[in-house]
Chains A and B, each alone.
Chain A
Amino acid sequence: MTLNDLVKELGLEVRAGGSALETEVRGGYASDLLSDVIAHGQPGDLWVTLQRHQNIVAVASLKRLAGIVLVNGREPEADTLQKAGAEGVPLLVSALPTFELVGRLCGLGLSGIRT
Chain B
Amino acid sequence: MADKEVTKTQEMIYELRVREVMTRKVIAVASATPMGELRGILRDNRISGTPVVDDGNLVGIVSIEDFINWMSDGRPGCPVADRMTRQVRTIYDDEPLVQAVNKLERSGFGRLPVLERETCRLVGVITKGDIIGGLLKHLEVDYLNAERRGARSSHIFEDIIADRSLLRLEYQVRGADFSRAGSSASGLKTSLGRLGIDPQITRRVAIAAYEAEMNLVVFTEGGRIRAEVEPGLIRLVVEDSGPGIPDVEQAMEPGFSTAPDWVRELGFGAGMGLPNIQKCSDRMRLDSTVGKGTRLEVEVLMEHRDDAERLSEGTGA
Contacts and interface: CB of A to CB of B under 8 A. Distances in A.
Interface of A: 32-35, 50-53, 55, 74-75, 77
A35 B265 contact: yes
B261 A77 contact: no
Contacts of A50: 270
16 contacts: A32-B267, A33-B265, A33-B267, A34-B264, A34-B265, A35-B265, A50-B270, A51-B264, A51-B270, A52-B255, A52-B270, A53-B264, A55-B261, A74-B255, A75-B255, A77-B255
Interface in B247-271: 255, 261, 264-265, 267, 270
Contacts of A75: 255
Contacts of B270: 50-52
Nearest to A53: B264
A77 B269 CA distance: 14
A64 to B, nearest CB: 22
A34 B265 CA distance: 7
Interface of A is mostly: loop
Interface of B: 255, 261, 264-265, 267, 270
B270 to A, nearest CB: 7
Contacts of A74: 255
A49 B255 CA distance: 14
A51 B265 CA distance: 11
| A-B pairs with lowest CB-CB distance, top 7 | A35-B265, A33-B265, A52-B255, A34-B265, A50-B270, A55-B261, A51-B264
B256 to A, nearest CB: 9
A29 to B, nearest CB: 17
A8 to B, nearest CB: 28
Nearest to B261: A55
B267 to A, nearest CB: 8
A53 B261 CA distance: 10
A56 to B, nearest CB: 10
Contacts of A77: 255
Given A35-B265, A50-B270, 14 more contacts: A32-B267, A33-B265, A33-B267, A34-B264, A34-B265, A51-B264, A51-B270, A52-B255, A52-B270, A53-B264, A55-B261, A74-B255, A75-B255, A77-B255
A34 B264 CA distance: 9
B263 to A, nearest CB: 11
Nearest to A35: B265
Contacts of A32: 267
Among A51, A53, A77, max chain B CB count under 10 A is at A53
A32 B270 CA distance: 10
A7 B261 CA distance: 30
A52 B264 CA distance: 11
A108 B255 CA distance: 31
A32 B261 CA distance: 13
Contacts of B264: 34, 51, 53
A53 to B, nearest CB: 7
A74 B256 CA distance: 12
B254 to A, nearest CB: 9
Contacts of B261: 55
A75 B255 CA distance: 9
Nearest to B257: A53
Nearest to A75: B255
B235 to A, nearest CB: 30
A54 to B, nearest CB: 11
B255 to A, nearest CB: 6
A33 B266 CA distance: 8
B305 to A, nearest CB: 36
B133 to A, nearest CB: 49
B250 to A, nearest CB: 13
A5 B217 CA distance: 45
A102 to B, nearest CB: 19
Nearest to B271: A52
Contacts of A33: 265, 267
Nearest to B256: A77
